[in-house]
């Protein structure tokens, strides 16, 4: 056809247009979302595997878009990572999580640690130390009640700089977790060089663990190795009682997943701290 050379018509078929439009709408909306307070945090409990007690919470961002409704983080975090806007989001999440935790502590509620997800980008482009120090100073939260979850993506380059930053943060009393462990690029060998507090086993390792012998023996080996390096193991995405029991038998230290609780809005999480 005549239009064949015209890339515009070839790419923007009517069926694709809504998707592209939605992506642009999300991208353009992020800055406004931050300014107009459309973001909020939900908190998912972490459970001590041995005692069953609540031992920490993970802050997870939620976006209530005026036209699109609730936009799940999987839809906008990757876009924000691409554009670099993730640095602003990380900063907002960190401050808000610290502010909220400090408010609960000041109200006399149970003191627990709050975990914040930090993009790998923050290790290379942002000033993570400064962002953390400013957030702590402005909210007054004791850094011993803060944990940062980072992914294996941070190990892709400049390992020395990453180690230096992590050492600094640990020196301030902040805990560091490796998130989604087993899905990325790091090896257990690399882990050994890092002053990490705990490893979060990705959900994909937990699903089907009770029936898949191969999987369970791999998970067992990982857990034993992590323990031998004096780090804790957190099992993510625990959905059934069988999975929970299995993780306990393998001596996971902490458990997180829908079996115990979905991520909760602040007012509901607060009830668990009473």
* Contact set with Ca ion (CB under 5 A): 117, 149, 179-180, 236
SS3 229: coil
CB 201 within 8 A of CB 182: yes
Residues in 199-218 that interact with ligand C2E by CB under 6 A? 203
What is the SS3 string spanning 66-115? CCCEEECHHHHHHHHHHHCCHHHHHHHHHHHHHHHHHHHHHCCCCCCEEE
Interaction of residue 237 with ligand C2E, rule CB under 6 A: yes
Task: Return the range that interacts with ligand C2E (CB under 6 A); candidates 13-21, 45-53, 101-109, 233-241.
Answer: 233-241
Q: Which of the 8 DSSP states describes residue 134?
A: H
Task: Return the range that interacts with ligand C2E (CB under 6 A); candidates 70-78, 126-134, 137-145, 191-199.
Answer: 70-78
Shortest Å distance, C-beta 94 to ligand C2E: 9
Task: Return the range that interacts with ligand C2E (CB under 6 A); candidates 55-63, 105-113, 156-164, 265-273.
Answer: 55-63
Q: For helices 73-83 and 86-106, what crossing angle results, to 10°?
A: 120
* Contacts of residue 45, Cβ cutoff 8 Å, sequence gap at least 6: 54, 56, 57, 256, 260, 261, 264, 269, 272
CB 16 within 8 A of CB 69: no
Of residues 26, 49, 55, 61, which one binds ligand C2E by CB under 6 A? 61
Measured CA to CA, the distance from residue 256 to residue 48 in angstroms comes to 9
Of residues 49, 57, 71, 93, which one binds ligand C2E by CB under 6 A? 93
Closer residue to ligand C2E (CB): 2 or 68:
68
Shortest Å distance, C-beta 203 to ligand C2E: 6
List residues binding ligand C2E (CB under 6 A): 44, 59-61, 72-74, 77, 90, 93, 117, 119, 179-180, 203, 237-239, 257-258, 263
């Amino acid at each position: 056809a005549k239009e064949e050379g015209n890339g515009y018509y070839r790419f923007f078929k009517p069926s694709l247009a809504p998707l592209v439009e939605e992506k642009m709408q999300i991208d353009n909306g992020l800055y406004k979302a931050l300014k107009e307070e459309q973001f909020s945090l939900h908190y998912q409990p972490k459970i001590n595997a041995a005692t069953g007690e609540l031992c920490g919470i993970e802050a997870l961002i939620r976006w209530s878009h005026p036209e699109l409704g609730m936009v799940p983080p999987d839809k906008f975090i990757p876009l924000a990572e691409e554009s670099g806007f993730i640095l602003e989001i990380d900063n907002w999440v960190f401050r808000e999580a610290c502010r909220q935790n400090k408010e609960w502590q000041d109200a006399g509620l149970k003191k627990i640690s709050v975990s914040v997800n930090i993009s790998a980008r923050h290790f290379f482009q942002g000033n993570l130390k400064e962002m953390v120090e400013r957030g702590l100073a402005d909210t007054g939260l004791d850094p011993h009640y803060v944990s940062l979850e980072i992914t294996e993506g941070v190990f892709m380059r400049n390992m020395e700089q990453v180690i230096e930053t992590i050492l600094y943060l640990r020196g301030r009393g902040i805990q560091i977790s490796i998130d989604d462990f087993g899905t990325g690029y790091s090896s257990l060998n690399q882990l050994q060089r890092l002053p990490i507090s705990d490893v979060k086993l990705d959900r994909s390792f937990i699903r089907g663990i009770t029936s898949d012998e191969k999987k369970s023996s791999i998970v067992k080996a990982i857990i034993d190795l992590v323990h031998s390096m004096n780090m804790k193991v957190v099992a993510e995405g625990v959905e059934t009682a069988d999975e929970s029991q299995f993780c306990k038998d393998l001596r996971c230290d902490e458990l997180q997943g829908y079996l115990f609780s979905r991520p909760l809005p602040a007012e509901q999480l607060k009830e668990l701290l009473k």
